[in-house]
Each structure stands twice: as C-alpha cells, then as structure tokens.
Chains A and B, each alone.
Chain A
Amino acid sequence: MNGPRPGAEEAGLSAWNDPPGGFHPVSAPDYLPREQLRAVQLQRLQSVVARAYDHVALFRTRMDERGLTPASIASLGDIAQLSFTVKTDLRDTYPFGLFASPMEEIVRLHASSGTTGKPIVVAYTQADLDVWSEVMVRSFAACGVHRGDVVQNAYGYGLFTGGLGAHYGAEALGATVIPISGGNTERQLMVIQDFGVTAICCTPSYFLHLAESAKEMKIDFSKLRVGVFGAEPWSEAMRDRIQQDSGIKAHDIYGLSEIIGPGVGVECAAQHGVHIFEDHFYPEIIDPESGVVLPDGAEGELVLTTLSKQAMPMIRYRTRDITSIIPEACECGRTIRRISRINRRSDDMVIIRGVNVFPSQVETALLRVEGTLPHYQIVLTREKGLDQMEVKVEVTPEVFSDEIRKLEALQHHLESSVENILGLRVKVTLVGPRTLARSEGKAKRVTDLRNV
C-alpha cells in the first residue's frame, strides 16, 4: 500500500473537512430541509416504537391496552396516540426494566443522583454513545467551539451524565479536553489561567462562583471565550450578568439523562432559544393538565421521544420542563426547531400562599437591582398557619455601604423588586459574603421548612 501523499500529514487530512472555527460538517443535519427532516423523523419513530414494543414489557402493555401496534404509527401525528412515560416509570422498573438491549450489547450505565428514593438507571449501546458524541459535537460546534480550543470540563464525572457526555463530545470534535470534573475552585482557576482555557463546561451557578473567586484571586480569564452551561435552569438576566462580568459568550445547553444526557439541544450563536436535535429527539409541547398536544408557539410541558436510542428507548417522556417551541426560523439558518429558554420546571415550582413561584423569577428580580449577584437562597416557613418566604442575599462589595440607611434602602429595593414580579410580600435578609452554600453541581435554591 502506498503511504500518504507527502505533505498530506502536515496539511492535516481532516483540515478540508473540519476547518477550525468554520462550519463543521457534523452540523449538516441541523440544516436539513424540513420535509427531509420529517421523513427521517417518521422512519426513525416507526423503528424506535417497534423496538420498544418488541423488547420492553411496559411499552408493549401500554400499547396493547390502547389497541395499538407499531403499524399504528403511519405519520408523525400518530405519536399522540401513544402513552406518556414519566419519571416514576423509571423508578418502578428499577434498575433495568426499560432496557431494550441485552447486557451483552450495553456498554455503559449512568444513574441519576436519586434525591428521592432509588436513582434512575440509563443504558447505552455503542451506537447510543456514538449518537451522544455526535449531538455533543454538534452542540459544541453551534457554540463556536472548534479544534484548537482548550475545553475545561467542570461537569462532574461519574454516574452523572454531564461529565462524560461533554468529555467525549469535545474529544470527538478534536478540541483539547481537560477532564477536571467538578469542585476544587482554586485548582479550576489555576488551570484556566495556566493552561490558557478557551471554553468551559459547568453549571451556570458554579461558573458565577468561579468568576467571582477569579476576581478576588486576580486570575487572568482573558483567553476564556465560550461557556457551555447547563444542568440547571437559569435566567436571561443571569446570562447578561455572566457575559458582562466575564466577557465570555454564555450558551445554554439542554439535556436530561432519561433522554441521553447533555446534548438534547443547544443555543447557537444567535442565543435565542435552544435548538433541539430533532433528528434524534422528537419534541412535543403538551398541556400538562390534559396531556393534549399544543401547537408551536404555545407554552406547555416539553415531551421528548428518542428517535434513535437502542438500549433504552423513551417514548413520549414528560420532562417537567415548561417551555414552548419557537415557530419562527432562526437567523442562524438551522432548520431544527428551537424551544424558548427553560427557566422553570414544574417540579421546581413552590406554591406560596396559593401563588406559583419559580426560583428563576426571584433570580430575575434580584438581578434587576444594580450591583447584586444572584447568590441567593429561598427559605420557606409557616408562621401561624401562613406561609412566609425569606430570600437571603449575599452582600457584595458593590452594594455594601458604611451607612445603615443605604443598606436598609437596598433591602427594601430588593423586596419591592421581588414583590413586583411575584405579587407576594417577601422578606429579604442581607447575609455575609460566602455564607450561602456554593454548589459545584446543580444549585439548591429552595429550603422548604414548612412541613418539618
């Protein structure tokens, strides 16, 4: 066999196929014409429904109960005949009851943290891992990350899908990956500075903590260009603050273990909604009460069906995330549809004196007040049968004054800002810097002491 043409190695065979910073060919499916995309979706939907029916007792039973067979799916609209899958289905079939592949074909297991009872377990065949890498490469490419970038992956490695999902995606892209995992803020900052990190993956609240510590320790962040932030809901106001303070471009990445992990969707350069990788994950928006499918543009609960998963197909999985599908085309030219920013989950919601409250609303209210950072915690108590909501906010050097009346004015300002958004009286308490617990993963915003 002949060796490579002289010089081909230097030019890099992949160079024509993957120009750093240019259009990455792996993004091509993002731009499929809608008609062809729908054809791919239908073909894959029929195949995944057949696979679920043939290999998973729960799906077969539910379809039989409704008199359905895989042949009932003749169009994409027919998906509405199928039953929803919910989180408790994963718990009830713990650990392996929803697997559609024998263990011989499963190459990876992940599990959720399991804050309530048993964790949920998810499985991948090699083909599933390949799809996961592909959607993560497409995610990074949409964020403008490319070969030559140094990616600090501060998502937790382990059973959590965040760490390994981002890791293999960034590697497949050809970027340089630092598998630092979560935690150890000082080491994170040293590595960002010394290794010239250009892109970082973590939760937005942890990045805020990193940026704040960097300022104190006078760490040079100037090479950092892109943040790929996910795994918790965050607000547009928080993005503005992060971008202003650190000069990076902050992208929202969406995913959940039940579907695949991170990489179900991502924001493009336009930063206006998360593009769902529709050729692998079919999105629907439903009315959370009635279960009826809503048209594009209407707000409701996001329901996802995995179109290509082998080891653990998910049929119409209810995500509990409240959003809407954006009907307009995106300025980036991608044809895969976007969902509007998810800043609330139906299970994050707390009901206070009959009013529905989402932590993201409190975050938005606090950020409206000049100089404040969203290090906050919501504490719910019940006094004389009445719900009380206290918001603890850390004092920053920007807002601290040596005069009592100015701090009291700040407190009232924060209270009325929250009150304006929630329509509820709240008590804001100023607390010392760094007294609220920092999470290295998902931030815990609400402490509910009402039922103790």
Chain B
Amino acid sequence: MKLKQLSLFLENRPGQLRAPLEALGRARIDLLTMTLADTAQFGILRLIVADPERARKVLQDDGMVVNVTEVVPIQVDNRPGGLAAVLASIEEAGLGVEYMYDFAARATPDRAVIIFRFEDPDRALVVLAAAGVRVLTSEELL
C-alpha cells in the first residue's frame, strides 16, 4: 500500500532545516523518518509523519512549499544480499525508481523497511505483488 510522503523546499543556508521540524514539534506530529537530498544551492527534505494531512497544513500555514507524493514501503530481509534480491525483482519488472531510503525506525532483527519512490507507484504495487515482494501497510508502520 502507498504511503504519503511530504517534501519541502529548503534553501541551502543555516536554520532552514530546523524551522519545519520545530513547526511539526509544536503541532505534536510524530516524525517517523526523513531524508535530505541536497545540491550546492538548495535541498529537498522528505518526511514520513504520522498524520501527513495535518502536517501539510501546519507546514503550509508556516509559509512553506509542500508537496505530497506517494511512496511504497517495502519489506526487505535483514541479511546480506536482502536488498539486492528485492532490487532484482524491481529491475526484472521494469519499474523505474526515482529514489529510495531506509525506514530505520521500523527495522527488526529479521526485516528492514525501505521507502521507494517509483515513477508509477500504482503499477509498482501490481507488479510487486505478482513478483512476491512484500509491500507493507500503513498500519504495520505507523
């Protein structure tokens, strides 16, 4: 199942990361995982939070530009070669991956969780199910 991810535009200067995280803190919205993509000039902060709709409103009211994108959380065996096996299935299915990152907070000794941003998340769900790749539900994660 798909998860809603928030992304924010950040200028590359001090204090930019703190402002949105403080806004979420004040609104008591739990941050589950995040990743920061950056260039020399700007960055994109990507967040998975417990309540994405409310979080989006909080951030927008603070004057930030926020995007909501759908990402897919995939279970990976927590062993050497576990991720490679999943990537092999993805590649065979011909799915385009924009980016991916680890959801460390939901890892266990047996499994890891990786967030994938696919070009076409709906097609990805169908193809991954057929390939036997385990996609997690939001109940399992949040």
Contact = CB atoms under 8 A, between A and B. Distances in A.
Interface of A: 216, 395-397, 400-404, 407-408, 411, 429-435
Contact of A397 (B42, B46, B67): B67
Given A395-B65, A400-B67, A407-B42, A432 B37 contact: no
A402 B65 contact: no
Given A430-B9, A435-B11, A407 B44 contact: yes
Nearest to A400: B65
Contacts of A396: 65
B98 interface: yes
A431 B39 CA distance: 13
B44 A402 contact: yes
10 contacts: A395-B65, A401-B67, A402-B44, A403-B44, A403-B98, A404-B39, A404-B44, A411-B41, A429-B41, A434-B63
Nearest to A404: B37
A402 to B, nearest CB: 4
Interface in B78-117: 98-99, 117
Chain B interface size range = 20 to 34
Contacts of B98: 403
Q: Which 6 A-B pairs have the closest CB atoms?
A: A402-B7, A400-B65, A395-B9, A402-B69, A433-B65, A432-B11
Contacts of A435: 11
Contact of A400 (B9, B37, B41): B9
Interface string B13-24: 000100000000
Contacts of B5: 402
Interface in B35-79: 37, 39, 41-42, 44, 46, 60, 63-67, 69
Contact of A433 (B46, B64, B99, B117): B64
A429 B37 CA distance: 17
A402 B46 contact: yes
A403 B99 contact: yes
A261 to B, nearest CB: 35
B124 interface: no
A372 to B, nearest CB: 13
